[in-house]
Amino acid sequence: MLRVRWLGRLDYEEAWDLQRAFWEGRVEGRTSDDYLLLVEHPPTYTVGRNGDGSNILTENPPGSVHFVDRGGDVTYHGPGQLVGYPIVDMQGSRDYVGFVRRLEDVIVGTLDDIGIRARSEEGFTGVWTDAGKAAAIGISVRKGVTMHGFAINVATDLAAFSHIRPCGVDRPVTRIADLVETPVSIEGVIEKLIPRFVKTMGYAEPEIQLGAFTRG
């Protein structure tokens, strides 16, 4: 079963601890369920395995900095951005690239449901529009179970990206708020994303809890 949790605004360290706890439960066989944790972070920069911090362009970026074990280089998380952490048992499959491609498909479909034309691009992980990158993706897989995930810019302050070279690539970033006429909330994006995730990943009816914590 897939269990979906919208946790609201959560410090990065707390979300990381939750990921590890659910990952351990899956790896150790204490649960047979997969999870999709959905959160919004305060200003945070994370550097993945492919980065060494050199793509952080300013000495004191406006947010905490964490070096983490996902793929990719540096990215930004902050208010107005929907972050998803799938804790998924790969069932023995080593097609990790295929899993990332499916995450891209989920987000492309979600944006299409909102009225935004988006795409994946060969050689550039993430989801792109004509205006720039709308979503970043970076996962890790240990003992056959995924961690980390994706970040969709809903109404993110794009100025925060000026302190980094996102994912080590000199290409613009964009957000949903600049691509639609009618504002869309994070909760509105979640309503579109969950059924896309369920269908693309091949789950039956999920168990969903929204509003477990309030944003503040």
Contact present, 154 and 177 (Cβ < 8 Å): yes
Q: What angle do CA 55, 13, 71 make, to 5 degrees?
A: 45
Alpha carbon distance, N-terminus to C-terminus of the chain: 30
Structure tokens at 24: 């351990």
Helix extents (H) in the chain: 12-27, 96-114, 186-201
| Percent of the chain whose predicted confidence (pLDDT) is above 70 | 98
User: Tell me: the pLDDT tens digits for 95-149?
Assistant: 999 999 999 999 999 999 999 999 999 999 999 999 999 999 999 999 999 999 9
* Region 146-164 average pLDDT: 95
pLDDT (0 to 100) of residue 49: 86
Q: What is the pLDDT of residue 29?
A: 95
pTM of the entire structure? 0.93
pLDDT, tens digit, 9 for 90 and up, residues 51-61: 888 889 888 89
Would you list the domain boundaries of the chain? 2-209
What mean pLDDT is predicted for residues 33-56?
93
Q: In this structure, are residues 165 and 74 in contact, taking their beta carbons and an 8 Å threshold?
A: yes
pLDDT interval class at 214 (50, 70, 90): very low
CATH class held by domain 2-209: alpha beta
Catalytically annotated residues = 167
Task: Identify the CA nearest to 149 among candidates 19, 18, 10.
Answer: 19
